[in-house]
Amino acid sequence: MPLWLVSAVAVLLAIIGWDLAVRSAGRTVIPGPIAVAQALGELAESGLLVRYTIASLFRVTWGFLLAVALGIPLGLLLGWFRRGERTAGPVLQFLRPISPLAWIPLAILWFGVGDLSAVFLIFVASFLPITVSAMQAARNVHHVHVDAARNFGLSGVAIVRRVLFPAALPQLIVGIRLALGVAWIVVVAAEMIAVNSGLGFLIVDARNAGDRYDLVVAGMVTIGVIGLVLDNAIRGLERAPAFGGRRT
């Protein structure tokens, strides 16, 4: 049986189980799949679904790409130049366990309530794991490749750019995938507090506007579907031969 068919059957069974659980509860604890589907239709018809989805993806895109653009070069350099790792490593390891949500008060203080606060939180959530992953990837590069580059007279920076980065790319893709999942979680949490749009805001607003739990679950379903799409996109990069992966 094809894997996509197995996945489709699993989703169908989950929806059936969800519907049966709601019907057997005796009272409306959580809206059923039909009510949620109707809520999704309502959001789509009003245009809020598209608008809030675009707002969330906009914030994730800018915060995450900024983290990738800064975190990967910094991590590779720190992993290659051990003196730099010994200097900056303790600082990174100190900041890494701090939850990105703990930065929300400071983000609002520095940037106010709006897109900048959410982008900053996504950047913080993504930058540290990407940097640490790049450091580890640089350390795992086999010394034979580095020695060969030195024999050709490449400088330290050139070795990082032309040897370390291509060799570490498969492991970097794994780190990027994990960081993207964290970024998508953080943007939803940030939108519940620091902005007035996006899928996270949709959930809070639906809860406050007359206990519309059908809209709350509709927002949760949308978040899950988009997260699945983003994860599959990165997994596709992992399997691509150009990035050192193998197709299955």
- The alpha carbon of residue 142 and the mean position of all alpha carbons in its chain are separated, in whole angstroms, by 29
Q: Greater confidence, 12 or 88?
A: 12
Would the pLDDT of 183 be above 80?
yes
Query: Which residue's structure tokens are 């789509």?
Result: 44
How many percent of the chain have pLDDT more than 90? 19
CB 77 within 8 A of CB 92: no
pLDDT in tens, 2-29: 776 777 888 889 888 888 888 887 666 6
Would the pLDDT of 173 be above 80?
yes
Q: Which of the four pLDDT bands, split at 50, 70 and 90, describes residue 87?
A: confident
pLDDT (mean) for 59-72: 93
- CA dihedral sign of residues 100, 103, 108, 111: negative
Q: How far apart are CA 159 and CA 92, in angstroms?
A: 24
- Comparing CA positions, the residue from 125, 12, 140, 122 lying closest to residue 62 is 122
Q: What is the pLDDT of residue 86?
A: 72
Structure tokens of 164?
């370390």
Would the pLDDT of 222 be above 80?
yes
Q: What is the pLDDT of residue 149?
A: 72
Would the pLDDT of 75 be above 60?
yes
**Which spans in 140-191 are helix H?**
143-151, 156-159, 165-191
Structure tokens of 31?
């809206």
pLDDT in tens, 118-139: 899 999 999 988 988 888 887 7
Question: b or e along 225-237 (b: 16 or more beta carbons within 10 Å of the residue's beta carbon)?
Answer: ebeeebeeebeeb
Q: What is the pLDDT of residue 28?
A: 65
The CATH number that domain 37-243 falls under is 1.10.3720.10
Domain boundaries, the chain: 37-243
pLDDT (mean) for 62-71: 93
Q: What is the pLDDT of residue 112?
A: 83
- Ranking 23-37, 49-63, 208-222 by mean pLDDT, the lowest is 23-37
Q: What is the pLDDT of residue 64?
A: 94
CB 63 within 8 A of CB 128: no
Would the pLDDT of 113 be above 60?
yes
